[in-house]
């Protein structure tokens, strides 16, 4: 199954947000929609976002403030949308860390071309994102998980081999302790794709990982199932 880039569209005006999301989806992108900065802040850590399309003028926290937050936490590409046309406004947006700037009204095809260009440049340097480098080492229940070396060490000091899928899943869980993550979110965060009917990839990986870190995999304490919602990592790792 091919992975489609995942965009976050932050726009308070439904008459702009809905048709633009539909257009981008039709052209091969997954799109999450946020009506304001608060909703965007919730969606960013819950998905593997590849690029943010961000309106500057929004009620509450504005787009410039949200762009500053995104840039402070990584190098996730940002395209700013605004009705403002003054050069000074454009400069401020770019200084806040935006990769590009498009004034309203705009041709959706021009936005599409800019998205493709930015994602091509981003791909050349590897995947970026608000949580691309969550930390170095996490300690939990006697285990030591080193993200950079991709090594998990058990309470007995012995290395525990992890498959790529198990490593990706454990990385997502330990960096988001206590958060309930759906299967769709876990697939997006670990594999960059959407779940499909009868997709058991997440459940199978959880089962294998439980056998490696749980005292009793049939009664798990660390990776807990939240029925009807997904999974949660039920302890708080120490980041060192």
Partnered with residue 153 across adjacent β-strands are: 144, 159
Highest CATH level, class, for 6-124: alpha beta
In sequence order, the β-bridge partners of residue 191 are none
CA–CA dist 76, 155 (Å, integer): 36
CA–CA dist 101, 54 (Å, integer): 9
pLDDT, residue 79, reads 92
Separation between Cα atoms, residue 68 and residue 93, nearest integer Å: 10
- Higher pLDDT among residues 129 and 240, named by residue: 240
Task: Give the start-to-end residue ranges of the domains of the chain.
Answer: 6-124, 137-239
pTM exceeds 0.85 for this model: no
Q: Which of 58-62, 78-82, 100-104, 177-181 has the lowest mean pLDDT?
A: 100-104
Cα–Cα–Cα angle for 24, 40, 72, rounded to 5 degrees: 110
Find where tokens 């819950």 sit: 46
Token pair, residue 86, equals 């003054």
Q: What angle do CA 180, 235, 161 make, to 5 degrees?
A: 95
Which pLDDT score is estimated for 197? 44
**Phi and psi at residue 38, to the nearest 5°:** -60, -45
- Which backbone phi and psi does 145 adopt, to 5 degrees? -120, 110
Q: Kindly tell me if the per-residue pLDDT of 88 is higher than 80.
A: no
Is pLDDT above 90 for 39? yes
User: How many helices (H) and strands (E) are present in the chain, helices listed first?
Assistant: 8, 12
Q: How far is CA 136 from CA 148, 149, 212, 239, in A?
A: 6, 9, 21, 8
- With a CB cutoff of 8 Å and minimum separation 6, the contacts of 186 are 169, 172, 202, 230, 231
**pLDDT computed for residue 144 by the predictor:** 96
More confident site: 208 or 74? 208
Judge if 6-124 and 137-239 fold alike in CATH terms.
no
Domain 137-239, second-level architecture: Orthogonal Bundle (1.10)
Q: Are 122 and 50 spatial neighbours (Cβ–Cβ below 8 Å)?
A: yes
Residue 141 CA, chain-centre distance (Å), reads 26
Cβ partners under 8 Å of residue 36, min gap 6: 10, 12, 58, 59, 60, 61
Helices (H), the chain: 14-26, 37-46, 63-72, 87-95, 108-124, 164-174, 183-191, 201-213
Strands 137-140 and 238-239: antiparallel
Rounded-to-integer distance, Cα 167 and Cα 145, Å: 9
| pLDDT for the residue numbered 198 | 45
Predicted confidence band of residue 132 (pLDDT cuts 50, 70, 90): very low
What is the rounded distance in angstroms from the CA atom of residue 55 to the CA atom of residue 71?
15
For the stretch 150-209, pLDDT in tens is 899 999 999 999 888 888 899 999 989 998 988 888 887 776 555 454 457 788 889 999
């Amino acid at each position: 199954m091919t992975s489609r880039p995942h965009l976050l569209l932050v726009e308070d005006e439904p008459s702009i947000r809905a048709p633009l999301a539909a257009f981008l989806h039709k052209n091969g992108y997954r799109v999450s929609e946020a009506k304001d900065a608060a909703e965007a802040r919730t969606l960013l850590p819950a998905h593997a976002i590849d690029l943010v399309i961000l309106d500057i003028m929004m009620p509450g926290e504005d787009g410039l403030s949200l762009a500053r937050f995104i840039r402070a936490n990584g190098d996730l590409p940002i395209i700013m949308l605004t009705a403002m046309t003054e050069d000074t406004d454009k400069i401020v947006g770019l200084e806040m860390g935006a990769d590009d700037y498009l004034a309203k009204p705009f041709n959706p095809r021009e936005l599409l071309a800019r998205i493709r260009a930015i994602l091509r440049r981003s791909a050349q340097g590897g995947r970026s994102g608000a949580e691309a480098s969550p930390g170095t080492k996490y300690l939990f229940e006697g285990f030591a998980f080193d993200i950079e070396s991709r090594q998990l060490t058990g309470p007995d000091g012995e290395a525990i081999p992890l498959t790529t899928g198990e490593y990706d899943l454990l990385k997502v869980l330990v960096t988001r302790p206590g958060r309930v993550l759906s299967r769709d979110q876990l697939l997006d965060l670990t594999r960059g794709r959407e779940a499909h009917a009868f997709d058991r990839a997440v459940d199978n990986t959880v089962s294998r990982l439980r056998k490696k870190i749980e005292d009793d995999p049939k009664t798990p304490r660390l990776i807990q199932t939240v029925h009807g919602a997904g999974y949660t990592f039920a302890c708080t790792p120490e980041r060192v």
